[in-house]
Amino acid sequence: MSYAIFVNGQIHHVEDDGQTPLLWVLRDTLKLTGTKYGCGVAQCGACTVHVDGQPMRSCTLPLEIVASSQITTIEAVEGAEAEAVRAAWLARDVPQCGFCQSGQIMCAVALLRTVGSPTDGDVDTAMSGNICRCATYNRIRAAIHDAAGTLRGQTT
């Protein structure tokens, strides 16, 4: 079947089975490979994208249900939160192997869009769906707090 999907502000016509996970549509068809396959069962968070602004695991998102949604991937996530998060990630050299970091960043941006000054508890709940096998968690946490600080500085 043919589906029209909105990804990163563009409309794409995709010819595929409606049950195909969005993850593979993004990666194989649209060549947006920043979104990673890590587990395929919504355990690791490496495939997180934003669907109408909400973080979602694209490995468990069938193509047929996202045809009317706005999808944003790591390649195009932008705005104050995304900039602050990326700057904080860079300043702290968060990534090691880096494979999970697209998903981590997508979740961190979503968290900061909802909670301006997240506590450690907020970070735990929002980010514990994202596995980092290199265990860069402490730097991720610190970078989220840094980014929140940057964003607060911008608003005051």
Find the binding residues for another protein in span 89-148 (CB under 8 A). Answer: 89-90, 93-102, 105, 107, 110-111, 114-115, 120-141
Q: How far is the CB of 4 from another protein (least distance, A)?
A: 19
Nearest to 42 by CA among 27, 21, 19, 26: 21
How many whole angstroms separate alpha carbon 14 and alpha carbon 136?
A: 36
Which residue's entry shows tokens 């096998």?
A: 133
7 binds another protein (CB under 8 A): no
Nearest to 76 by CA among 34, 37, 47: 34
**Cβ closest to another protein, residue 5 vs residue 32:** 32
41 binds another protein (CB under 8 A): yes
Q: How far is the CB of 68 from another protein (least distance, A)?
A: 14
- Which of 35, 69, 72, 150 is close enough to bind another protein by CB under 8 A? 35
Q: What is the DSSP string of 62-103?
A: BGGGSTTSEEE-TTT--SHHHHHHHHHHHHTT--SS-TTHHH
152 binds another protein (CB under 8 A): no
Total residues contacting another protein (rule CB under 8 A)? 79
80 binds another protein (CB under 8 A): no
**Cβ closest to another protein, residue 20 vs residue 150:** 20
52 binds another protein (CB under 8 A): no
SS3 2: strand
105 touches 125 (CB < 8 A): no
In the shown chain, the binding pattern of residues 14 to 33 toward another protein, with x for contact by CB under 8 A and - for none, equals --xx-xxx--x--xxx-xxx
59 binds another protein (CB under 8 A): yes
How many whole angstroms separate alpha carbon 107 and alpha carbon 99?
A: 14
